[in-house]
Structure 1
Amino acid sequence: MSFFRYEGANVYYKIVGKGNTPLLFLHGNTASSKMFTQKVKFYAERFRVVLIDYPGHGKSEMLQEFPVDYWCYNARVAIKLCQTLKLNKVNLIGTSGGAIVALNMALLEPLLVGKIIADSFGGDSLNCEDVATLRDQREEAKGNILSILFWFLMHGLRWKKVVDADTKMIEQSSLSRKGYYCGDLSEITVPVLITGSLQDELIRDIEFRLRVFSNGLRNSKLVFYPTGSHPAMFSNSREFDKLALEFLENNH
Protein backbone atom coordinates (compact mmCIF):
# COMPACT_ATOMS: atom_id res chain seq x y z
CA MET A 1 0.00 0.00 0.00
CA SER A 2 1.17 3.53 -0.77
CA PHE A 3 0.91 6.52 1.54
CA PHE A 4 2.06 10.13 1.61
CA ARG A 5 2.11 12.53 4.54
CA TYR A 6 -0.20 15.50 4.91
CA GLU A 7 -0.08 17.62 8.06
CA GLY A 8 1.35 14.70 10.01
CA ALA A 9 -1.19 12.11 8.86
CA ASN A 10 -0.67 9.13 6.56
CA VAL A 11 -2.88 9.42 3.48
CA TYR A 12 -3.54 6.39 1.29
CA TYR A 13 -3.38 6.45 -2.49
CA LYS A 14 -3.21 3.94 -5.32
CA ILE A 15 -2.23 4.16 -9.00
CA VAL A 16 -3.70 1.81 -11.61
CA GLY A 17 -3.12 1.78 -15.38
CA LYS A 18 -0.30 2.92 -17.61
CA GLY A 19 -1.95 5.64 -19.67
CA ASN A 20 -0.18 8.95 -20.14
CA THR A 21 -3.09 11.10 -18.97
CA PRO A 22 -3.72 11.13 -15.20
CA LEU A 23 -7.31 10.69 -13.99
CA LEU A 24 -7.97 11.28 -10.30
CA PHE A 25 -11.13 9.86 -8.72
CA LEU A 26 -12.51 11.77 -5.73
CA HIS A 27 -14.95 9.99 -3.44
CA GLY A 28 -17.96 11.43 -1.65
CA ASN A 29 -18.57 12.13 2.03
CA THR A 30 -18.59 9.01 4.29
CA ALA A 31 -17.12 6.96 1.41
CA SER A 32 -13.61 5.99 0.31
CA SER A 33 -11.81 5.15 -2.92
CA LYS A 34 -13.23 1.63 -2.65
CA MET A 35 -16.47 2.99 -4.06
CA PHE A 36 -14.72 3.18 -7.46
CA THR A 37 -13.57 -0.47 -7.53
CA GLN A 38 -15.92 -1.45 -10.35
CA LYS A 39 -14.90 1.61 -12.40
CA VAL A 40 -11.13 1.37 -12.17
CA LYS A 41 -10.54 -1.43 -14.68
CA PHE A 42 -12.53 0.33 -17.39
CA TYR A 43 -10.80 3.71 -17.04
CA ALA A 44 -7.35 2.21 -16.41
CA GLU A 45 -7.32 0.93 -19.99
CA ARG A 46 -7.08 4.54 -21.17
CA PHE A 47 -5.77 6.62 -18.25
CA ARG A 48 -3.30 6.58 -15.40
CA VAL A 49 -5.96 6.24 -12.70
CA VAL A 50 -5.17 7.69 -9.28
CA LEU A 51 -7.25 6.89 -6.18
CA ILE A 52 -7.11 8.60 -2.81
CA ASP A 53 -8.72 8.13 0.60
CA TYR A 54 -9.14 11.51 2.29
CA PRO A 55 -7.62 11.77 5.78
CA GLY A 56 -9.94 10.00 8.21
CA HIS A 57 -11.41 7.77 5.49
CA GLY A 58 -10.76 4.26 4.18
CA LYS A 59 -7.13 3.21 4.63
CA SER A 60 -5.92 6.70 5.57
CA GLU A 61 -5.08 7.63 9.14
CA MET A 62 -8.12 8.49 11.28
CA LEU A 63 -8.74 12.08 12.37
CA GLN A 64 -10.29 13.00 15.70
CA GLU A 65 -12.62 15.33 13.85
CA PHE A 66 -13.06 16.56 10.30
CA PRO A 67 -12.07 20.16 9.49
CA VAL A 68 -14.95 22.60 9.08
CA ASP A 69 -13.59 23.57 5.64
CA TYR A 70 -13.71 19.86 4.72
CA TRP A 71 -14.12 20.27 0.94
CA CYS A 72 -11.33 22.84 0.63
CA TYR A 73 -9.11 20.87 3.01
CA ASN A 74 -9.45 17.69 0.96
CA ALA A 75 -8.81 19.64 -2.23
CA ARG A 76 -5.49 20.73 -0.71
CA VAL A 77 -4.75 17.11 0.24
CA ALA A 78 -5.45 15.93 -3.31
CA ILE A 79 -3.32 18.75 -4.75
CA LYS A 80 -0.44 17.68 -2.50
CA LEU A 81 -0.77 14.11 -3.84
CA CYS A 82 -0.67 15.32 -7.45
CA GLN A 83 2.37 17.45 -6.71
CA THR A 84 4.08 14.57 -4.90
CA LEU A 85 3.50 12.33 -7.93
CA LYS A 86 4.58 15.18 -10.28
CA LEU A 87 1.31 15.04 -12.22
CA ASN A 88 0.17 17.80 -14.57
CA LYS A 89 -3.14 18.53 -16.30
CA VAL A 90 -4.92 16.02 -14.11
CA ASN A 91 -8.47 15.12 -15.14
CA LEU A 92 -10.84 14.79 -12.20
CA ILE A 93 -13.96 12.69 -11.63
CA GLY A 94 -15.65 13.56 -8.36
CA THR A 95 -19.00 12.33 -7.17
CA SER A 96 -21.22 13.83 -4.46
CA GLY A 97 -18.85 15.59 -2.02
CA GLY A 98 -15.97 14.57 -4.30
CA ALA A 99 -17.40 16.81 -7.03
CA ILE A 100 -17.05 19.78 -4.66
CA VAL A 101 -13.47 18.75 -3.84
CA ALA A 102 -12.69 18.61 -7.59
CA LEU A 103 -14.05 22.11 -8.20
CA ASN A 104 -12.03 23.44 -5.27
CA MET A 105 -8.88 21.94 -6.77
CA ALA A 106 -9.50 24.02 -9.90
CA LEU A 107 -9.95 27.13 -7.76
CA LEU A 108 -6.79 26.53 -5.73
CA GLU A 109 -4.46 25.26 -8.49
CA PRO A 110 -6.02 26.05 -11.88
CA LEU A 111 -2.92 25.09 -13.87
CA LEU A 112 -2.86 21.62 -12.30
CA VAL A 113 -6.33 20.59 -13.52
CA GLY A 114 -7.26 19.42 -17.01
CA LYS A 115 -11.01 18.65 -17.10
CA ILE A 116 -13.58 18.04 -14.38
CA ILE A 117 -16.56 15.70 -14.22
CA ALA A 118 -18.72 16.72 -11.25
CA ASP A 119 -21.43 14.15 -10.52
CA SER A 120 -24.45 14.20 -8.22
CA PHE A 121 -23.80 17.09 -5.84
CA GLY A 122 -25.90 19.82 -4.27
CA GLY A 123 -24.71 22.89 -6.12
CA ASP A 124 -23.28 25.83 -4.23
CA SER A 125 -24.47 25.68 -0.61
CA LEU A 126 -26.13 23.89 2.29
CA ASN A 127 -29.11 25.39 4.07
CA CYS A 128 -30.58 24.51 7.46
CA GLU A 129 -33.24 22.29 5.91
CA ASP A 130 -30.58 20.34 3.98
CA VAL A 131 -28.59 19.76 7.17
CA ALA A 132 -31.62 18.60 9.14
CA THR A 133 -32.64 16.24 6.33
CA LEU A 134 -29.14 14.81 6.06
CA ARG A 135 -28.92 14.27 9.82
CA ASP A 136 -32.23 12.38 9.79
CA GLN A 137 -31.20 10.34 6.75
CA ARG A 138 -27.91 9.35 8.39
CA GLU A 139 -29.61 8.27 11.63
CA GLU A 140 -32.06 6.15 9.68
CA ALA A 141 -29.29 4.70 7.52
CA LYS A 142 -27.28 3.62 10.57
CA GLY A 143 -30.06 1.10 11.19
CA ASN A 144 -30.22 -0.09 7.56
CA ILE A 145 -28.22 -3.22 6.80
CA LEU A 146 -27.34 -2.13 3.23
CA SER A 147 -26.06 1.25 4.40
CA ILE A 148 -24.07 -0.38 7.19
CA LEU A 149 -22.57 -2.85 4.71
CA PHE A 150 -21.54 -0.02 2.38
CA TRP A 151 -19.89 1.95 5.18
CA PHE A 152 -18.20 -1.18 6.53
CA LEU A 153 -16.75 -1.93 3.09
CA MET A 154 -15.47 1.64 2.89
CA HIS A 155 -13.96 1.94 6.39
CA GLY A 156 -14.08 -1.35 8.26
CA LEU A 157 -15.04 -1.37 11.94
CA ARG A 158 -14.55 2.38 12.34
CA TRP A 159 -17.39 3.19 9.91
CA LYS A 160 -19.65 4.72 12.57
CA LYS A 161 -16.90 7.12 13.70
CA VAL A 162 -16.50 8.32 10.11
CA VAL A 163 -20.22 8.85 9.60
CA ASP A 164 -20.66 10.70 12.91
CA ALA A 165 -17.57 12.85 12.30
CA ASP A 166 -18.87 13.79 8.86
CA THR A 167 -22.34 14.67 10.14
CA LYS A 168 -20.84 16.84 12.88
CA MET A 169 -18.60 18.57 10.34
CA ILE A 170 -21.53 19.37 8.06
CA GLU A 171 -23.51 20.84 10.96
CA GLN A 172 -20.54 22.99 12.00
CA SER A 173 -19.83 24.03 8.42
CA SER A 174 -23.43 25.17 8.00
CA LEU A 175 -23.32 27.18 11.22
CA SER A 176 -20.00 28.79 10.28
CA ARG A 177 -21.39 29.76 6.86
CA LYS A 178 -18.05 28.86 5.28
CA GLY A 179 -19.79 27.18 2.38
CA TYR A 180 -18.46 24.58 0.01
CA TYR A 181 -15.99 26.58 -2.02
CA CYS A 182 -12.76 28.44 -1.42
CA GLY A 183 -13.03 30.95 -4.23
CA ASP A 184 -15.20 32.53 -6.91
CA LEU A 185 -16.64 29.76 -9.09
CA SER A 186 -16.75 32.08 -12.10
CA GLU A 187 -12.94 31.97 -12.09
CA ILE A 188 -12.91 28.27 -13.03
CA THR A 189 -11.82 28.19 -16.66
CA VAL A 190 -11.34 24.45 -17.26
CA PRO A 191 -14.15 22.45 -18.94
CA VAL A 192 -16.65 21.05 -16.43
CA LEU A 193 -19.17 18.29 -17.15
CA ILE A 194 -21.97 18.19 -14.55
CA THR A 195 -24.12 15.06 -14.26
CA GLY A 196 -26.98 14.00 -12.04
CA SER A 197 -30.10 11.87 -11.78
CA LEU A 198 -33.50 13.57 -11.68
CA GLN A 199 -34.58 10.87 -9.21
CA ASP A 200 -31.64 11.41 -6.83
CA GLU A 201 -33.05 10.50 -3.43
CA LEU A 202 -30.44 12.40 -1.41
CA ILE A 203 -30.35 15.81 -3.12
CA ARG A 204 -33.54 17.85 -2.99
CA ASP A 205 -34.31 19.96 -6.11
CA ILE A 206 -31.22 18.65 -7.88
CA GLU A 207 -32.30 19.84 -11.31
CA PHE A 208 -32.85 23.44 -10.19
CA ARG A 209 -29.69 23.52 -8.10
CA LEU A 210 -27.40 22.18 -10.78
CA ARG A 211 -28.90 24.34 -13.54
CA VAL A 212 -28.25 27.45 -11.46
CA PHE A 213 -24.79 26.20 -10.61
CA SER A 214 -23.90 25.39 -14.22
CA ASN A 215 -24.99 28.87 -15.34
CA GLY A 216 -22.43 30.35 -12.95
CA LEU A 217 -19.50 28.61 -14.63
CA ARG A 218 -17.66 29.83 -17.70
CA ASN A 219 -17.30 26.50 -19.49
CA SER A 220 -19.76 23.82 -18.43
CA LYS A 221 -22.04 21.16 -19.84
CA LEU A 222 -25.00 19.78 -17.88
CA VAL A 223 -26.46 16.29 -18.38
CA PHE A 224 -29.34 14.78 -16.40
CA TYR A 225 -30.48 11.16 -16.42
CA PRO A 226 -34.26 10.73 -16.06
CA THR A 227 -33.95 7.76 -13.69
CA GLY A 228 -31.44 6.37 -11.23
CA SER A 229 -30.42 6.69 -7.61
CA HIS A 230 -27.55 8.58 -5.97
CA PRO A 231 -24.93 8.83 -7.41
CA ALA A 232 -25.74 8.91 -11.11
CA MET A 233 -22.31 7.67 -12.19
CA PHE A 234 -23.23 4.25 -10.78
CA SER A 235 -27.00 4.10 -11.25
CA ASN A 236 -26.51 5.15 -14.91
CA SER A 237 -23.14 3.47 -15.24
CA ARG A 238 -23.00 2.59 -18.95
CA GLU A 239 -24.36 5.93 -20.14
CA PHE A 240 -22.10 7.83 -17.74
CA ASP A 241 -18.94 6.00 -18.82
CA LYS A 242 -19.68 6.64 -22.52
CA LEU A 243 -20.29 10.33 -21.86
CA ALA A 244 -17.23 10.62 -19.62
CA LEU A 245 -14.90 9.16 -22.26
CA GLU A 246 -16.28 11.45 -24.95
CA PHE A 247 -15.77 14.45 -22.69
CA LEU A 248 -12.30 13.53 -21.45
CA GLU A 249 -10.91 12.45 -24.84
CA ASN A 250 -12.29 15.37 -26.84
CA ASN A 251 -9.43 17.77 -27.56
CA HIS A 252 -11.67 20.84 -27.55
Structure 2
Amino acid sequence: RVILMDFLGNGQSDRVECFPENLWTTQADQVLALVEHLNLKKVNLLGTSGGAWVAVNTALKRPDLVEHVIADSFDGRTLHDGFAENLRKEREYAKQDQEARQFYEWCQGEDWEKVVDLNTQALITCAVNKTPLFCKSLESLDTPILFMGSLEDDMCRQDMLEEYKEMDRLVGNGKIYMFETGGHPAALSNAESAARVITDFLNGQSLN
Protein backbone atom coordinates (compact mmCIF):
# COMPACT_ATOMS: atom_id res chain seq x y z
CA ARG A 1 0.00 0.00 0.00
CA VAL A 2 1.43 3.36 -1.03
CA ILE A 3 0.09 6.69 0.22
CA LEU A 4 1.14 9.93 -1.48
CA MET A 5 0.53 12.94 0.75
CA ASP A 6 -0.17 16.54 -0.20
CA PHE A 7 0.87 18.66 2.78
CA LEU A 8 -1.32 21.57 3.85
CA GLY A 9 -0.96 24.39 1.35
CA ASN A 10 0.15 22.02 -1.42
CA GLY A 11 -1.48 20.06 -4.23
CA GLN A 12 -5.09 19.20 -3.53
CA SER A 13 -4.91 20.07 0.18
CA ASP A 14 -6.39 23.20 1.74
CA ARG A 15 -4.43 26.41 1.21
CA VAL A 16 -2.65 28.33 3.97
CA GLU A 17 -1.69 31.99 4.28
CA CYS A 18 1.98 31.18 4.82
CA PHE A 19 4.36 28.33 5.51
CA PRO A 20 6.28 28.35 8.82
CA GLU A 21 10.07 28.45 8.73
CA ASN A 22 10.16 25.16 10.69
CA LEU A 23 8.25 23.68 7.77
CA TRP A 24 9.72 20.20 8.00
CA THR A 25 8.79 19.83 11.66
CA THR A 26 5.18 20.93 11.17
CA GLN A 27 4.87 18.67 8.14
CA ALA A 28 6.04 15.76 10.29
CA ASP A 29 3.10 16.53 12.57
CA GLN A 30 0.83 16.28 9.52
CA VAL A 31 2.27 12.88 8.63
CA LEU A 32 1.65 11.64 12.15
CA ALA A 33 -1.90 13.01 12.14
CA LEU A 34 -2.61 11.09 8.93
CA VAL A 35 -1.02 7.88 10.23
CA GLU A 36 -3.13 8.06 13.37
CA HIS A 37 -6.28 9.03 11.44
CA LEU A 38 -5.89 5.97 9.18
CA ASN A 39 -4.98 3.80 12.18
CA LEU A 40 -1.78 2.63 10.48
CA LYS A 41 0.91 0.67 12.31
CA LYS A 42 4.66 0.84 11.64
CA VAL A 43 4.77 2.70 8.31
CA ASN A 44 7.77 3.03 5.99
CA LEU A 45 8.53 6.63 5.03
CA LEU A 46 10.21 7.82 1.83
CA GLY A 47 11.07 11.50 1.88
CA THR A 48 12.96 13.16 -0.93
CA SER A 49 14.61 16.60 -0.89
CA GLY A 50 12.77 18.61 1.80
CA GLY A 51 10.61 15.58 2.45
CA ALA A 52 13.69 13.77 3.79
CA TRP A 53 13.75 16.09 6.80
CA VAL A 54 10.02 15.47 7.24
CA ALA A 55 10.54 11.71 7.26
CA VAL A 56 13.39 11.91 9.78
CA ASN A 57 11.44 14.27 12.05
CA THR A 58 8.44 11.97 11.92
CA ALA A 59 10.57 9.07 13.12
CA LEU A 60 12.20 11.23 15.80
CA LYS A 61 8.78 12.26 17.11
CA ARG A 62 7.08 8.85 17.01
CA PRO A 63 9.50 5.95 16.48
CA ASP A 64 6.72 3.59 17.57
CA LEU A 65 4.84 4.36 14.34
CA VAL A 66 7.76 4.22 11.87
CA GLU A 67 9.39 0.99 10.64
CA HIS A 68 11.96 2.42 8.18
CA VAL A 69 13.00 5.81 6.78
CA ILE A 70 14.46 6.52 3.35
CA ALA A 71 15.97 10.02 3.34
CA ASP A 72 16.80 10.94 -0.25
CA SER A 73 18.77 13.85 -1.72
CA PHE A 74 18.96 16.38 1.13
CA ASP A 75 21.62 18.52 2.79
CA GLY A 76 21.75 16.69 6.10
CA ARG A 77 22.10 18.42 9.44
CA THR A 78 22.34 21.98 8.09
CA LEU A 79 21.57 23.88 4.92
CA HIS A 80 24.72 24.68 2.97
CA ASP A 81 25.96 28.28 3.00
CA GLY A 82 24.67 29.13 -0.47
CA PHE A 83 21.29 27.44 -0.02
CA ALA A 84 19.12 30.58 0.14
CA GLU A 85 20.68 32.26 -2.90
CA ASN A 86 20.76 29.03 -4.90
CA LEU A 87 17.13 28.36 -4.11
CA ARG A 88 16.08 31.89 -5.07
CA LYS A 89 17.88 31.64 -8.42
CA GLU A 90 16.60 28.13 -9.12
CA ARG A 91 12.99 29.07 -8.41
CA GLU A 92 13.14 32.23 -10.51
CA TYR A 93 14.64 30.31 -13.41
CA ALA A 94 12.10 27.50 -13.06
CA LYS A 95 9.18 29.94 -13.13
CA GLN A 96 10.33 31.05 -16.59
CA ASP A 97 10.94 27.52 -17.90
CA GLN A 98 7.97 25.96 -19.70
CA GLU A 99 8.61 22.41 -18.53
CA ALA A 100 9.11 23.52 -14.94
CA ARG A 101 5.93 25.61 -15.05
CA GLN A 102 3.98 22.60 -16.31
CA PHE A 103 5.49 20.45 -13.57
CA TYR A 104 4.57 22.97 -10.87
CA GLU A 105 1.02 23.24 -12.20
CA TRP A 106 0.71 19.45 -12.30
CA CYS A 107 1.87 19.26 -8.67
CA GLN A 108 0.13 22.28 -7.19
CA GLY A 109 -2.75 23.30 -9.45
CA GLU A 110 -3.60 26.59 -11.13
CA ASP A 111 -2.34 28.67 -8.19
CA TRP A 112 1.08 26.99 -8.33
CA GLU A 113 3.03 30.25 -8.47
CA LYS A 114 1.67 31.47 -5.13
CA VAL A 115 2.37 28.09 -3.54
CA VAL A 116 5.93 28.07 -4.86
CA ASP A 117 6.54 31.64 -3.68
CA LEU A 118 5.26 30.86 -0.17
CA ASN A 119 7.44 27.76 -0.01
CA THR A 120 10.49 29.66 -1.27
CA GLN A 121 10.05 32.40 1.33
CA ALA A 122 9.70 29.90 4.18
CA LEU A 123 12.84 28.02 3.15
CA ILE A 124 14.88 31.20 2.71
CA THR A 125 13.78 32.37 6.17
CA CYS A 126 14.75 28.98 7.57
CA ALA A 127 18.19 29.23 5.96
CA VAL A 128 18.84 32.85 7.01
CA ASN A 129 17.70 32.26 10.61
CA LYS A 130 19.49 28.89 10.77
CA THR A 131 16.30 27.30 12.07
CA PRO A 132 16.97 23.79 13.44
CA LEU A 133 16.08 21.19 10.82
CA PHE A 134 15.55 18.33 13.25
CA CYS A 135 13.22 18.39 16.25
CA LYS A 136 15.56 16.16 18.30
CA SER A 137 19.18 15.03 18.13
CA LEU A 138 20.02 12.43 15.50
CA GLU A 139 21.68 10.33 18.20
CA SER A 140 18.19 9.53 19.49
CA LEU A 141 17.09 8.03 16.16
CA ASP A 142 16.89 4.23 16.40
CA THR A 143 14.67 3.70 13.35
CA PRO A 144 16.53 2.02 10.46
CA ILE A 145 17.35 4.74 7.94
CA LEU A 146 18.74 4.76 4.41
CA PHE A 147 20.58 7.88 3.29
CA MET A 148 20.31 7.97 -0.51
CA GLY A 149 21.48 10.45 -3.13
CA SER A 150 23.38 11.12 -6.33
CA LEU A 151 27.00 12.24 -6.58
CA GLU A 152 26.01 14.48 -9.53
CA ASP A 153 23.20 16.26 -7.67
CA ASP A 154 24.01 19.98 -7.99
CA MET A 155 21.11 21.08 -5.78
CA CYS A 156 22.59 19.57 -2.63
CA ARG A 157 25.82 20.31 -0.80
CA GLN A 158 28.98 19.25 -2.62
CA ASP A 159 30.14 17.15 0.32
CA MET A 160 26.83 15.29 0.60
CA LEU A 161 28.50 11.88 0.90
CA GLU A 162 30.69 13.08 3.76
CA GLU A 163 27.66 14.59 5.47
CA TYR A 164 25.79 11.31 5.05
CA LYS A 165 28.72 9.47 6.63
CA GLU A 166 28.65 11.83 9.61
CA MET A 167 24.92 11.29 10.09
CA ASP A 168 25.34 7.55 9.69
CA ARG A 169 27.92 7.68 12.48
CA LEU A 170 25.40 9.40 14.75
CA VAL A 171 22.35 7.24 14.18
CA GLY A 172 21.97 3.75 15.53
CA ASN A 173 20.90 1.88 12.42
CA GLY A 174 21.83 3.61 9.15
CA LYS A 175 22.90 2.72 5.63
CA ILE A 176 24.12 4.85 2.71
CA TYR A 177 23.61 4.42 -1.03
CA MET A 178 24.93 6.90 -3.56
CA PHE A 179 24.31 6.76 -7.31
CA GLU A 180 27.24 7.72 -9.51
CA THR A 181 24.99 9.67 -11.92
CA GLY A 182 21.66 11.45 -11.79
CA GLY A 183 20.18 14.75 -10.78
CA HIS A 184 17.87 15.96 -8.04
CA PRO A 185 16.34 13.95 -6.51
CA ALA A 186 17.92 10.53 -6.91
CA ALA A 187 14.58 8.78 -6.39
CA LEU A 188 13.39 10.44 -9.61
CA SER A 189 16.53 10.58 -11.73
CA ASN A 190 17.39 6.95 -10.91
CA ALA A 191 13.82 5.78 -10.44
CA GLU A 192 14.06 2.08 -11.34
CA SER A 193 17.41 1.54 -9.65
CA ALA A 194 16.25 3.50 -6.59
CA ALA A 195 13.15 1.31 -6.35
CA ARG A 196 15.34 -1.79 -6.22
CA VAL A 197 17.65 -0.27 -3.61
CA ILE A 198 14.73 0.82 -1.45
CA THR A 199 13.03 -2.58 -1.72
CA ASP A 200 16.26 -4.33 -0.71
CA PHE A 201 16.63 -1.97 2.24
CA LEU A 202 13.07 -2.59 3.43
CA ASN A 203 13.60 -6.33 3.13
CA GLY A 204 16.85 -6.25 5.08
CA GLN A 205 18.99 -7.27 2.11
CA SER A 206 22.43 -5.97 1.19
CA LEU A 207 22.52 -2.89 -1.04
CA ASN A 208 24.47 -3.66 -4.20
Q: When the two structures are superposed, what TM-score results if normalisation uses the length of structure 2?
A: 0.94
- Deviations 1:121-167 (Å, cap 9, x if unpaired)? 11111244211111111111111111111101001111111111011
Query: C-alpha deviations, 1:30-83, integer Å up to 9, x for none?
Result: xxxxxxxxxxxxxxxxxx212210000000011110012100000000100000
Is the 8 Å Cα contact of residues 59 and 65 (structure 2) preserved in structure 1? yes
Shift of 1:100: 0.7
Residue in structure 2 matching 1:178, options 123, 131, 152: 131
1:124 match: 77
CA deviation after TM superposition for structure 1 residue 251, in Å: 8.5
Q: Which of these residues, 57, 61, 66, is aligned with residue 19 of structure 2?
A: 66
Task: Give runs of aligned pairs for residues 203-218 of structure 1, distance below 5 A.
Answer: 203-205=156-158, 206-218=160-172
For 1:149 and 1:64, how far apart are their aligned partners in 2?
23
Q: In structure 2, what is the equivalent of residue 103 of structure 1?
A: 56
- Report the Cα distance in structure 2 between the residues aligned to 1:204 and 1:225, rounded to whole angstroms: 15
Unmatched segments (≥5 aa) in structure 1: 1-47
Aligned length: 205
Q: Which has the higher contact order (CA 8 A, sep 6+)?
A: 2
What does residue 115 of structure 2 align with?
162
Task: Supply the distance in 2 between the matched residues of 1:153 and 1:231 (Cα, whole angstroms).
Answer: 18
Paired position in structure 2 for 1:56: 9
Paired-residue identity, %: 36
More strand per residue = 1
The gaps in structure 2 that reach 5 residues or longer are: none
Aligned to 2:92: 139
The alignment partner of 1:189 has SS state of: coil
Residue 89 (str. 1) matches residue 75 (str. 2): no
Provide the rounded CA distance (Å) in 1 between the counterparts of 2:114 and 2:44: 31
Kindly indicate whether the alpha-carbon contact (under 8 Å) linking 1:152 and 1:159 is maintained by their aligned counterparts in 2. yes
Q: Quote the Cα distance in structure 2 between the aligned partners of 1:130 and 1:209.
A: 15
Tell me, yes or no, if structure 1 residue 242 matches structure 2 residue 207: no
Partner residue of 1:20?
none
Aligned with 2:182 (options 228, 234, 245): 228
Could you tell me which residue of structure 1 aligns to residue 141 of structure 2? 188
> 2: CA distance between counterparts of 1:250 and 1:212?
22
Residues 208, 250 of structure 1: CA spacing in aligned structure 2 closer, same or farther, 3 A cutoff? closer
Post-superposition offset of 1:92: 0.7
- 1:191, 1:127 → 2: CA distance? 25
RMSD: 1.5
CA contact (8 A) 2:138 2:167 kept: no
Distance 1:247 1:128 in 2: 32
Contact between 1:126 and 1:179, CA under 8 Å: does it hold in 2? no
Distance in 2 of aligned mates of 1:135 and 1:163: 11
Greater CA deviation, 138-147 or 201-210? 201-210
Classify the secondary structure of the residue corresponding to 1:204: coil
TM-score normalised by L of structure 1: 0.78
- Deviation of the 1:117 alpha carbon: 0.8
Deviation at 1:175, TM superposition (A): 3.2
TM-superposed CA distance for 1:249, in Å, is: 2.1
On the 8 A contact 1:117/1:192 being kept in 2, the answer is yes
